[in-house]
Amino acid sequence: MTHTSLKAVRAALAAALVLLACAAPARADSWRPARDSGLMLTVGHGEAQSAAVGGTMLWCDPPRGHHRRAADACAELEAADGRIADIPAKDVICPMVHAPVTAHAHGTWRGRAVEYTETFSNTCMLTARTGSVFALNAP
């Protein structure tokens, strides 16, 4: 039978507590999303911003929220420094169907206010011009 001294048990417990303290997160609220890069995104049918119903919140740093392509959208926004109008247009062929959609974004990017509204002739043109940012219904 092995006997362990009380001093050895206390030392082991102290060491375990130190290890646990080091492994714990630095801030108790670190699970909360960073509020400096979040956009509320809506797409509505028609040429009026008020035609949009609902919306999707996109948080970046790290990408999260209910946006289905959050990682792609955040990467495109990062490359354009949060300026949706500066996202490079994709070289695609879109049908010449007039079915206007209005995209709207408001929120902040790196602490800077973002307000964007633009009407496109159809959803293909919207996607070609804004990439994944407004791909709210995409799988």
- Domain containing 98 equals 33-130
Region of poorest pLDDT, from 3-7, 25-29, 43-47, 55-59: 25-29
Q: Is the pTM of this model over 0.85?
A: no
Indicate if the pLDDT at residue 33 is higher than 50.
no
Residue 114 lies in a domain: yes
Q: In the predicted model, what is the mean pLDDT of residues 63-83? A: 90
Q: In the predicted model, what is the mean pLDDT of residues 24-32? A: 44
Q: How confident is the model at residue 7 (pLDDT cuts 50, 70, 90)?
A: low
Q: How many domains does the chain have?
A: 1
Residue 51 lies in a domain: yes
Residue 14 lies in a domain: no
For residue 94, the domain's CATH number is 3.30.350.10
Convert the pLDDT of each residue in 104-139 to its tens digit: 999 999 989 999 999 999 999 999 999 999 988 755
Residue 85 lies in a domain: yes
Residue 59 lies in a domain: yes
Residue 61 lies in a domain: yes
Indicate if the pLDDT at residue 4 is higher than 70.
no
> Which own/partner contact pairs does 38-42 have at CB distance under 8 Å and 24+ positions apart?
38/65, 38/107, 38/108, 39/77, 39/105, 39/106, 39/107, 39/108, 39/109, 39/114, 39/133, 40/105, 40/106, 40/107, 41/67, 41/103, 41/104, 41/105, 41/133, 41/134, 41/136, 42/103, 42/104, 42/105
Residue 136 lies in a domain: no
What pLDDT score was predicted for residue 86? Answer: 95
Q: In the predicted model, what is the mean pLDDT of residues 52-78? A: 86
What pLDDT score was predicted for residue 18? Answer: 45
Indicate if the pLDDT at residue 5 is higher than 70.
no
